[in-house]
């Protein structure tokens, strides 16, 4: 077959994603961005999202290489396939950005988030909260006679599910870190 007759939608022949890019389907992607840890770099990334009207569902950032002054920003974003491609290309052209990885399409990955839940209550509700926490493998990191602070690590879905269960049991406050993610394997 002539190389010219590239089937629409095939990405075999291209360094680029040639899927029909302009569909209305919304996809959620987790993007890992390795950046030089210099002042203003987070503002550049966030400014790109607000300036071009992209969504940020979750964003985490911390320095991961102290010697190389590299930070890793993990962004969960939602958009059409075309918008996701643009987000990656636009991130890539920010000068202090070293690498951009779309963990959602580059093979399997693991995603984890840490959350703290303050649950106030006494009597049966308190016991039930503790029992559910045990099922979810949440740890108690603070306790008074009328409250717990649970620490839970897991996927965002698991944390959502736990929050839903805690709500009728006296959930007072939630703090979440946002998603950290890594590709599986070597």
Site residues for other proteins per CB under 8 A: 2-4, 6, 13-16, 18, 20-22, 36, 39-40, 43-44, 47, 51, 82, 85-86, 89-90, 92-96, 98
Provide, rounded to whole angstroms, the least separation between the CB of residue 21 and other proteins.
5
Joined tokens for residue 11: 């990405």
Provide, rounded to whole angstroms, the least separation between the CB of residue 91 and other proteins.
9
E strand or H helix at 86: helix 81-92
- CB-nearer residue toward other proteins: 73 or 159: 73
DSSP label at residue 168? G
- Half-sphere CA count of 96, side-chain side, radius 13 A: 17
At residue 8, φ and ψ (nearest 5 deg) are: -60, 130
- CB-nearer residue toward other proteins: 70 or 163: 70
Joined tokens for residue 44: 């550049």
Provide, rounded to whole angstroms, the least separation between the CB of residue 3 and other proteins.
5
Provide, rounded to whole angstroms, the least separation between the CB of residue 89 and other proteins.
4
- 14 SS3 class: coil
At residue 77, φ and ψ (nearest 5 deg) are: -140, 155
Residue with tokens 């006679």: 145
- CB-nearer residue toward other proteins: 93 or 108: 93
- CB-nearer residue toward other proteins: 64 or 89: 89
């Amino acid at each position: 077959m002539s190389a010219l007759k590239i089937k629409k939608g095939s990405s075999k022949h291209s360094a680029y994603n040639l899927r029909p890019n302009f569909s209305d389907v919304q996809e959620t992607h987790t993007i890992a961005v390795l950046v030089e840890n210099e002042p203003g770099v987070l503002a550049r990334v966030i400014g790109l999202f607000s300036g071009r009207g992209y969504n940020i569902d979750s964003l985490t950032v911390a320095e991961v290489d102290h010697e190389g002054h590299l930070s890793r920003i993990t962004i969960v974003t939602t958009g059409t396939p075309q918008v996701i491609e643009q987000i990656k290309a636009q991130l890539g052209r920010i000068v202090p950005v070293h690498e951009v990885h779309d963990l959602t399409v580059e093979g399997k990955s693991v995603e984890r988030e840490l959350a703290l839940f303050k649950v106030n209550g006494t009597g049966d509700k308190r016991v039930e909260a503790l029992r559910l926490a045990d099922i979810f493998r949440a740890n108690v990191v603070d306790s008074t006679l009328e409250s717990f602070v649970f620490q839970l690590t897991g996927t965002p879905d698991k944390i959502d599910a736990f929050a839903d269960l805690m709500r009728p049991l006296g959930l007072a406050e939630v703090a979440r870190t946002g998603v950290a993610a890594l590709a599986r394997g070597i």
